[in-house]
Amino acid sequence: MKTLKMITTAILAGMLLFPLSADARKKTGIVAHRGFWNCEEAGYAKNSVAALRCAQEAGFWGSEFDVNMTSDGVLIVYHDSDVEGKKIEKHPYSEFKDFKIKNGETIPTIDQYLEQGKKYPETMLVYEMKPHSSAEVEDKFIELTIAKLEEHDLLDPKRVMFISFSWHMCKELAKKLPGFTVQYLEGDKNPDKVNEAGVNGIDYHFNVFNINKKWVSKAQKLGMTVNAWTVNKENNMEQMFDLGVDFLTTDNPLEARALMEKMNIKEMK
C-alpha cells in the first residue's frame, strides 16, 4: 500500500514537473509556402528555384510549390492560373517561356524545379496541383505529373506529397497513387467525408480549424495527416501548435521555428 502511494506521488510529481501537453506533443513539420522565398537569397521570389533551394538549405521539413499546365502539356511552377491576363491552360509554353519572375528567373518548368528538388532527399516536395477547367484536363495534368516524377526518380511517397483545391484531383491521386499523402485544401468537408473518399489528409486554412477545433484530432484518429495554411502570424501559429497539427505551412518559416523552440515543440525534419 505504502509503495503504491509512493508510486502515485512520484507519477503526480512527474506530471507537475513535465506537463503532459508539452511533453506528449509529437513533432510538427514546417512547410515553406511557395518555398522559402521571404529572404534576400531567394530575391523574394515565390515559387522560384532559388526559394526551393533556400528551404532545402534551411532544413525545413517541406517546401510547397504551385503547378499549372499549359495548353501543350508543359508543367510550370507558377501560382496564378494566368500570366499577365493570359490563361496558362489555354496557351502554349512558348508564350510563357520568357516571362521573368521577381528574382530574374524565368518561370520554372517542372523539369527545372525537380532537378533542384532531387538534390535534397530529406526535403519533402509539397506539390500543389492547381485546379484546371475540366476533369479531362485535370486527368491529363495528373498523368503528366506522374510521368515527370517518374522521369526524375521522385515518384516516392517519402519525397513528394500532393495538395489540391480540386476535389476531383485529390480523389484521382488517392486512387492512382496509394501510399502517397494527398491533402485536400478547400476546407468545406469534414474529416469523415474526406476519409470516406480515400483521401488521407487535409490541409485547411487555419481559421477552418479555429472554427472546427475537433477536426484536427478527428482526422488524426482516422489516420489522416493535418496541415494548416498559410499561418504567418505568431498568435495563429500558436493556435495551430496547440491544436496539434502535423504540418504548418507558412511564409515565415524561421519565425515558426523560433516559436516552436519557445513553446518546446519538436521540429520534424
Site residues, Mg ion (CB under 5 A):
66, 128
CB of 187: closest distance to Mg ion in angstroms? 14
CB of 34: closest distance to Mg ion in angstroms? 6
Nearest Cα to Cα of residue 28 among 259, 244, 252 = 244
Instruction: Give the single-character DSSP code of 85.
Output: T
Nearer to Mg ion, 220 or 230 (CB): 230
CB of 251: closest distance to Mg ion in angstroms? 11
Tell me whether strands 86-87 and 82-83 are parallel, antiparallel or unpaired: antiparallel
246 alpha carbon, distance to own chain's centre: 10
Residues in a beta bridge with 87: 82
Nearer to Mg ion, 105 or 128 (CB): 128
d(C-alpha 89, C-alpha 72), whole Å = 8
Nearer to Mg ion, 128 or 138 (CB): 128
Nearer to Mg ion, 69 or 265 (CB): 69
d(C-alpha 200, C-alpha 223), whole Å = 7
CB of 173: closest distance to Mg ion in angstroms? 15
One-character DSSP codes across 155-211: --TTTEEEEES-HHHHHHHHHHSTTS-EEE-S--S-HHHHHHTT--EEEEEHHHHHH
Nearer to Mg ion, 66 or 138 (CB): 66
Q: Which residue is nearest to Mg ion (CB)?
A: 128
CB of 128: closest distance to Mg ion in angstroms? 4
